[in-house]
């Protein structure tokens, strides 16, 4: 009895307690997911977007350099934007990293700002406290003792260059309400980088920034600073994730370039406190990479774009080039690659290593056959392979040539390197066929310390020589011969061999018949050609024949045969076609030009490419002699027949410098900033 009363009292108490609890809302149903009506964006209870995975960082303990900087700041009564604005990158900036400069952003004239932007957590006041007269000298001493390579100031410090002249100074300044005299004073103060942040796009400026900050006023300030001191690097920054569109970002970048801004940083806006603007979007790293590429295309000297961007200008301009225009080579030749590295920013910079490698990739067509033996030999063919894109087979990968290791570049310093790569004599040419494609290119790979590898690709055009050449043995016995005579280039022997084999003129005559009697004779003055040559043929008609040729069509073709699958029909590509009306003619001539950018005949295990002349003769009894002397007429009943004839020709390579004339655009170098 007692136990039952206790149970009733417990149930009654539980029911009274549950009456005030809020009921959980029903979640989305299966139908909602199928219809796509469910918002899968992760949000907190207050409606804020949850932090994505690419912005999450492990909580690391402060290193000694960071603790040292913080202690000195407290003792010297100095404030930094890093702490006041609650920057998430404070550990990376203050601590520094191997190969990356350490930096800090010092707030001069106190820790209080006179403007109140809705995205910034720095304290604001209409009338800040009095200035510290010792602040300039304290700032200079602190920076000199920190050992930082790059310092950012929110104004100009006149004592800094005296204490540490080697430190590169970036001044992050306001727009000074458009006062040109103040802008000129800062621009001529001895700094290296003049920075003023545009912060956001034109539409969001009144909502995001202080009402006194104007979009056009900021652009005018940056432009006037550059005009005042041409040696300055002007820099600006944009926050993404506040609700801007791609078109608005694009217009902001164009406006900055028109104002002469040379350095640009783009980063993710992160809400510092609940009182500040909400994050509208977490911009993905792929989108930041897109804006990085777009900034480079617009001509910015340096573009830093990333979710957690330090804003440091650490770019090195890498330029790789070959000496020949359009980068055209023969098989068996040696390619000389020149690489130049220039530090394009006013910061010491370093690279861990760099290497160069020559590649030839094979891409099979959808209808081409793939033998089983290729899968077994794939690993043997690519022992020196470092990377291979999906869907390609490596036919040749040279050994990586290390060109530098652990180098440092001072601001504007230029370093140049060169290396040589050999093209194997028995390699396939550059070819884009129906059944197979061969691509030649040089990969230039460089890497910063603790950073991803950056790769540049310089495409090459390789022409198969197909003529065996015996090069003379290198001789160093005669001291009176110069280096070029001791070891002459292979190209000179190749040109002589090509000219010798293609200069022979042997006339060949071919009788064409319809199965009963011949009606025409085709004369070819030679059968061996090189790229860029003209093919001349003469066609003589037999007047005594019962049939008459009314039209002749001559077509220059290449025939591609798939040797991996003989069931595939040959792929025929026409290069030039000539039509000649020969109804009342005794003979005619035809001239066809071999394209200079064509591919000479070749054959390997996968494909065979050959050249031929295709003739089509339209014959019939349409012509009859008239009673009048010298006149002929066409019969009303016209019976015609098409008689085809193919004749194979041999096409060799030509001088690569002559092949270059067939290309309209030059491509001999590749440039990127890493």
Q: What is the CATH number of the domain that holds 140?
A: 3.20.20.70
Residues 407 and 415: beta-carbon distance below 8 Å: yes
Assess whether 452 and 549 both reside in one domain.
Answer: no
Q: Same domain, yes or no, for 170 and 230?
A: yes
End-to-end, the C-alpha distance of the chain in Å comes to 84
Nearest to 669, CA basis, from 439, 443, 458, 462: 458
User: How many Cβ atoms are within 10 Å of 72's Cβ, its own excluded?
Assistant: 16
pLDDT score of 48: 66
Both 410 and 458 in one domain: the answer is: yes
**Cα–Cα distance measured from residue 338 to residue 669, given in angstroms and rounded to the nearest whole number:** 9
What pLDDT, in 10s, does the model give residues 184-200? 988 888 788 899 999 99
User: What CATH number does the domain containing 516 carry?
Assistant: 2.60.40.840
Strand partners, 558: 573, 611
Please say which residue of 305, 332, 348 terminates a domain.
305
Strand partners, 338: 321, 418
Instruction: Assign 657 a pLDDT band (cuts: 50, 70, 90).
Output: confident
| Gap between the Cα atoms of 613 and 407, Å rounded | 58
Q: What pLDDT shows up at residue 672?
A: 76
Tell me, what DSSP letter sits at residue 49? B
CA distances, 668 to each of 245, 430, 665 (Å): 37, 16, 10
Nearest Cα residue to 305 out of 293, 323, 321, 318: 293
Range of the domain at 382: 316-465+663-673
User: Comparing C-alpha atoms, which of 644, 615, 630, 635 is closest to residue 546?
Assistant: 635
Say if strands 193-195 and 233-240 run parallel, antiparallel, or are unpaired.
parallel
- Asked if 397 contacts 359 with a C-beta cutoff of 8 angstroms, the reply is yes
* Phi, psi for 549 (deg, rounded to 5): -85, 120
Domain boundary among 261, 283, 305: 305
Alpha carbon 77 to chain centroid, angstroms: 48
Q: Are residues 276 and 324 in the same domain?
A: no
Provide the domain count of the chain: 3
Asked whether residue 496 is assigned to any structural domain, the reply reads no
pLDDT at 376 over 70: no
The structure's pTM equals 0.54
Which pair of tokens denotes residue 124?
């604001």
CA nearest 561: which of 614, 611, 609?
Answer: 609
Q: Could you report the per-residue pLDDT of 35-66, keeping only the tens digit for each?
A: 655 555 555 555 567 777 766 655 444 455 56
The pLDDT value recorded for residue 436 is 92
Same domain, 291 and 324: no
What is the token pair recorded at 112?
């209080």
User: Mean pLDDT lowest for which of 54-63, 112-121, 401-410, 450-459?
Assistant: 54-63
Does residue 341 lie in a domain region?
Answer: yes
- What is the token pair recorded at 92? 């990376």
d(CA 265, CA 304): 5
- What's phi and psi for 456, nearest 5 deg? -115, 145
Is the confidence at residue 538, as pLDDT, over 50? yes
Domain boundary among 271, 305, 339: 305
Q: Indicate if 641 and 667 belong to the same structural domain.
A: no
């Amino acid at each position: 009895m007692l136990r039952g009363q206790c149970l009733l009292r417990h149930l009654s108490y539980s029911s009274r307690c549950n009456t005030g609890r809020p009921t959980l809302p029903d979640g989305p149903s299966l139908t909602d997911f199928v219809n796509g009506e469910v918002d899968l964006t992760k949000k907190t209870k207050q409606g804020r977007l949850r932090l994505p995975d690419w912005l999450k960082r492990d909580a690391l303990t402060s290193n000694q350099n960071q603790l040292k900087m913080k202690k000195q700041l407290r003792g010297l009564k100095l404030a930094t934007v890093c702490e006041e604005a609650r920057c998430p990158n404070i550990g990376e900036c203050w601590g520094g990293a191997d190969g990356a400069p350490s930096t800090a952003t010092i707030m001069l004239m106190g820790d209080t700002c006179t403007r109140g932007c809705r995205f910034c957590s720095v304290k604001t006041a209409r009338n800040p406290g009095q200035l510290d007269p010792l602040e300039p000298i304290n700032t200079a001493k602190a920076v000199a003792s920190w050992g930082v390579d790059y310092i950012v100031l929110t104004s100009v410090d006149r004592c800094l260059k005296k204490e540490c002249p080697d430190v590169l100074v970036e001044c992050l300044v306001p727009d000074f309400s458009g006062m040109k005299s103040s802008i000129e004073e800062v621009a001529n103060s001895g700094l290296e980088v003049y920075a003023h942040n545009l912060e956001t796009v034109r539409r969001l400026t009144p909502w995001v920034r202080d009402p006194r900050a104007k979009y056009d006023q900021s652009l005018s300030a940056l432009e006037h600073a550059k005009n005042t001191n041409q040696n300055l690097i002007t820099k600006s920054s944009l926050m993404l994730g506040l609700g801007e569109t791609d078109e608005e970002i694009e217009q902001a970048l164009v406006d900055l370039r028109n104002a002469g801004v040379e350095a640009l940083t783009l980063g993710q806006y992160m809400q510092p406190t609940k009182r500040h603007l909400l994050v509208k979007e977490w911009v993905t790293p792929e989108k930041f990479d897109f804006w990085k590429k777009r900034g480079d295309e617009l001509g910015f000297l340096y573009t830093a774009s990333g979710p957690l961007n330090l804003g440091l200008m650490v770019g090195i301009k890498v330029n790789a080039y070959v000496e020949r225009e359009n980068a055209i080579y023969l098989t068996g030749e040696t390619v000389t690659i020149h690489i130049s590295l220039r530090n394009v920013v006013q910061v010491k910079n370093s690279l861990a290593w760099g290497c160069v490698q020559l590649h030839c990739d094979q891409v099979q067509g959808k209808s081409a056959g793939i033998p089983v033996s290729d899968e077994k030999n794939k690993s043997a063919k690519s022992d020196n392979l470092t990377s291979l894109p999906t869907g390609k087979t490596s036919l040749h990968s040279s050994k990586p040539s290390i060109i530098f290791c652990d180098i440092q570049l001072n601001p504007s310093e230029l370093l140049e390197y060169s290396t040589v790569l050999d093209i194997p004599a028995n390699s396939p040419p550059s070819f884009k066929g129906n059944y197979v494609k061969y691509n030649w290119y040089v990969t230039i790979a460089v890497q910063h310390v603790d950073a991803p590898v950056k790769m540049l690709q310089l495409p090459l055009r390789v022409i198969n020589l197909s003529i065996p050449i015996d090069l003379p043995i290198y001789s160093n016995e005669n001291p009176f011969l110069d280096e070029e005579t001791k070891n002459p280039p292979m190209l000179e022997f190749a040109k002589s061999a090509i000219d010798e084999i293609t200069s022979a003129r042997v006339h060949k005559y071919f009788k064409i018949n319809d199965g009963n009697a011949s009606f025409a004779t085709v004369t070819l003055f030679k059968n061996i050609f090189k790229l860029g040559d003209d093919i001349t043929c003469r066609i003589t008609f037999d007047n005594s024949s019962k049939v008459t040729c009314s039209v002749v069509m001559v077509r220059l073709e290449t025939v591609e045969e798939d040797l991996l699958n003989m069931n595939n029909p040959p792929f025929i590509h026409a290069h030039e076609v000539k039509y000649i009306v020969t109804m009342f003619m005794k003979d005619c001539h035809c001239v066809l030009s071999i394209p200079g950018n064509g591919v000479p005949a070749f054959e390997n295990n996968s494909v065979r490419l050959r050249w031929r002349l295709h003739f089509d003769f339209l014959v019939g009894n349409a012509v009859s002699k008239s009673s009048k002397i010298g006149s002929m007429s066409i019969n009303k009943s016209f019976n015609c027949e098409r008689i085809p004839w193919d004749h194979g020709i041999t096409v060799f390579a030509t001088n690569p410098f002559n092949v270059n004339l067939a290309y309209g655009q030059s491509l001999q170098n590749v440039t990127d900033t890493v």
